[in-house]
Structure 1
Amino acid sequence: MNNTIETGKTAAITSYILGIGVFIAMSMNSDDKNTFASFHIRQGLGLTLTFISLGLIISNFDSLMISAPMWIFVSVLWSYGIFTAIKGETKPVPLLGNLFQKWFANIS
């Protein structure tokens, strides 16, 4: 298990670079499917899609009172995800992490 974490850590951390990082991590993990990296790729993909969808909805409002909480929410979840990847843990991000694992179960 420890070897799985060490070999998948780079891809796991890369998956949290919002946007392109998920796709880079997917290609890094395409040859040898690493379960640790796959877990964090699903988390990173979910966070990226959450960020984009909330951003599209909130961009219709020109208010800092609406956009600031979205940025804080995504930043907290992102920080949690990347720090668990760095520590070598597979803890889902709060609130949405278990859903990301279920929704993106076919992504490995």
Structure 2
Amino acid sequence: MLGTLGIHKFILGYTKEGIIMLFITLFTAGYGAFIIAIISIIEGIIYLTKRIENSYKPMSTVKMVGSE
């Protein structure tokens, strides 16, 4: 449910993409949610399998616990 609203994009710092996903879902009266849900599942798999060294701007600025 939250993936179709683009919440994961806001959490990761991609505000523009999150707003686009949110508007697509809302302005299509939920019919666009099916397409956004498929995109969200694919992105979720990518995020879960991505190595931290290969992460993009918002994730690379996060400091890991114990690293100095």
Q: For the superposition of Structure 1 and Structure 2, which TM-score range results when normalised by the shorter chain?
A: 0.3 to 0.5
The TM-score with structure 1 as length reference comes to 0.33
What's the TM-score once normalised by structure 2's chain length? 0.47
